[in-house]
Amino acid sequence: MARRYDPERRQRIIDAAIRVAEERGIGALSHRVVAAEADVPLGSTTYHFASLDDLLVAALRQVCGEAGTTVEGWTEYLERDAPLADRIADLLAAYMDESRSGRVRMEYELYLAALRRPALSPVAAEWLDSTLDVLGRYTDSPGTARTLSALIDGMLLQSLLTGRPFDRDEVRAEVARVVGDEPLPDGPASDR
């Protein structure tokens, strides 16, 4: 039997893996599940992605490069004329919009999977480096950019883990403390 020409098959498999991870988590990913979701033969998934890690790397690379996710896309918010704390709070509020919560959860799940899956580490490191690069353009030092990145990740993860609604004002206040957009409150700590 002649082989069916299907140049989009690899991309359909990646898209299916992302959908499965978004809807059910990366623990639900298998070649079989992704093949069913992509409506391709099981052999196609193993042909294009010898291991599940290969598939996860492709999925993470795609997710990190998509318009709504790419760190370079943050400049739409970061270039606005407002205090940096407001710009970042607005960016994160848009990022955590309720309609995207499943997507954001999946992005972090893929990112954190790098802790146990060494094949994902280089992609996760690229994401972190690009985050630090972009934030560094708007902060006074690499240390501030790193602290801000950690704060952003921590606040988003806490919101995802607790299910509490995203609080733009709280985020704005915490970011302002890191970037110096507002003075510290009066009191014993500020007298030091």
Same domain, 71 and 40: no
Q: Is 190 inside a domain boundary?
A: no
What local confidence, expressed as pLDDT, does residue 102 receive? 75
Same domain, 91 and 125: yes
Nearest 5°: the CA angle 121, 125, 128 is 140
Q: Which two tokens stand for residue 22?
A: 């978004």
Same domain, 97 and 156: yes
Q: In sequence order, what are the residues at sequence separation of 6 or more whose Cβ sits closer than 8 angstroms to the Cβ of residue 80?
A: 87, 90
Q: What residue numbers bound the domain in which 18 lies?
A: 9-50
Q: Is 86 helix (H, G, I), strand (E, B) or coil?
A: helix
Q: Is 16 inside a domain boundary?
A: yes
Q: Kindly report the pTM of this predicted structure.
A: 0.76
What local confidence, expressed as pLDDT, does residue 172 receive? 95
Q: Is 187 inside a domain boundary?
A: no
Distance CA 71, CA 78 (A): 11
Quick one: pLDDT band at residue 2, thresholds 50, 70, 90? very low
Question: pLDDT digits over 109-127, tens only?
Answer: 888 888 898 998 998 888 8
Report the CATH number at residue 37: 1.10.10
Quick one: pLDDT band at residue 46, thresholds 50, 70, 90? very high
For every residue of 52-75, DSSP letters joined together read: HHHHHHHHHHHHHHSTTT-GGGGH
What local confidence, expressed as pLDDT, does residue 73 receive? 73
Residues listed for the chain: 192
Same domain, 98 and 174: yes
For tokens 């507002």, the residue is 182
Total domains present in the chain: 2
**pLDDT surpassing 70 at residue 6:** yes
Same domain, 121 and 161: yes
Q: Is 60 inside a domain boundary?
A: no
Report the CATH number at residue 116: 1.10.357.10
Q: Side-chain half-sphere of 19: how many Cα atoms within 13 Å?
A: 13
Distance CA 52, CA 24 (A): 16
Q: Is 2 inside a domain boundary?
A: no
Q: Is 136 inside a domain boundary?
A: yes
Higher pLDDT among residues 65 and 61, named by residue: 61
For tokens 């690499």, the residue is 142
Same domain, 75 and 160: yes
Averaged pLDDT, 73-96: 88
Same domain, 44 and 70: no
